Chain A
Amino acid sequence: MRIIIESPQPDDEDVVIVRCASPDQRLISMLLSFQTAQTELTGYMDDKIVRLNYQDVYYFEANENRVFAYYHSDVYEVKYKLYELEELFGPLDFIRCSKSMIVNMEKIEYISPLFSGKLEAHLKNGEKVLISRQYVHSLKVKLGIEEVD
């Protein structure tokens, strides 16, 4: 693959054009990560203010009008609404798994069915999160098992 970098005309904005036969998920994720890398995610824990790396977030959860980012073992409050986080990180590997939760697919160890008819995602830090039936389709779409409606 060749990489060509051209200078735009003085009044033109910077543009990234990808010319390829079939862009795979990795390429799209890489381009979207480049865009999202500009997004500053600040976490608050007690008196600490921390700059968060979204790739280390296991899941975001909304609880009583507050939204929290869950790391491996730490929990930070973030000043975004859940739908804003979904818009920001949805194009990456984050997926809505219930009304109050967005999970990082990269942190899912495996998914198992429950006898109650729901699915459960087992995360790499040992936590388990429920996947609501209504979001299973979008998860399957993201994994390339089903197509977009």
Chain B
Amino acid sequence: MLKEFFISLLHYFVDITTAVLIAAASYLTISGQQMDSIILWEILLSGFITALPSAVLICLDTKSVRLSLILWIVHFILIFCTTLILLDVFGWCSITPESALLTFLAVVFIYLFTCLVHYLVDRKHTSLMNQQLKKRYSNEEDHR
């Protein structure tokens, strides 16, 4: 359980940090703003802070798809609020309706990016698992 948590934490940290970096680079290029090098550390820290609840969520053993969906919605709201607070604390921008909307869009992008990366990795793993399942049981049927 603990091992699974740390592996998930590392994966989410890498994925989220990459997505935040893409979002920040796009925003800075479009707006023409200049930022200090401290932003790199802030991006790393925000990646770690938002990866924590994601790693906890993935390790939770939910019984139904419905409960899982509710937890994901709660998780999304938590990530969105955390990001808003971090933006204010880091002084990236003040909380206004416009910045909240932009943050919401950025969080949606990062969320989809992370889920997509995980989905693609899992698809590769399940494909291998399905091959092994097929091999294992076609062998058994041949021997019957």
> Could you tell me the distance between the alpha carbons of A139 and B122 in the complex, rounded to whole angstroms?
14
Q: By the criterion CB–CB under 8 Å, are A133 and B4 in contact?
A: yes
Residue interface bits A91-116, CB-to-B below 8 A is 1, else 0: 00000001110000110101111111
Q: B41 at interface (Cβ–Cβ under 8 A)?
A: no
Given contacts A100-B63, A143-B132, A144-B132, contact A111 B126 (CB under 8 A): yes
> Could you tell me the distance between the alpha carbons of A145 and B130 in the complex, rounded to whole angstroms?
11
Q: By the criterion CB–CB under 8 Å, are B126 and A119 in contact?
A: yes
Given contacts A106-B137, A117-B118, contact A143 B59 (CB under 8 A): no
Given contacts A100-B63, A145-B132, contact A26 B140 (CB under 8 A): yes
* Range of interface residues on A (Cβ < 8 Å): 20 to 34
**Nearest chain B residue, comparing its CB with the CB of A118:** B68
User: Which residues on the B side are within 8 Å of A25 (C-beta)?
Assistant: 136
Residue interface bits B1-35, CB-to-A below 8 A is 1, else 0: 10110001000000000000000000000000000
User: Which residues on the A side are within 8 Å of B137 (C-beta)?
Assistant: 106
User: Which residues on the A side are within 8 Å of B90 (C-beta)?
Assistant: none
Q: By the criterion CB–CB under 8 Å, are A119 and B59 in contact?
A: no
Q: By the criterion CB–CB under 8 Å, are A105 and B133 in contact?
A: yes
Given contacts A133-B8, A140-B129, contact A113 B68 (CB under 8 A): no
Q: A42 at interface (Cβ–Cβ under 8 A)?
A: no
Q: Which of A106, A130, A133, A149 has the most CB of B within 10 A?
A: A133
Q: By the criterion CB–CB under 8 Å, are A98 and B8 in contact?
A: no
Out of A108, A119, A143, A144, name the residue touching B122 (CB < 8 Å). Answer: A119
* Segment 52-66 of B: residues with Cβ below 8 Å from A: 57-59, 61-63, 65
A-B contact pairs, 11 of them (CB 8 A): A98-B61, A111-B130, A113-B118, A113-B123, A130-B63, A130-B65, A134-B1, A136-B125, A139-B129, A143-B136, A144-B132
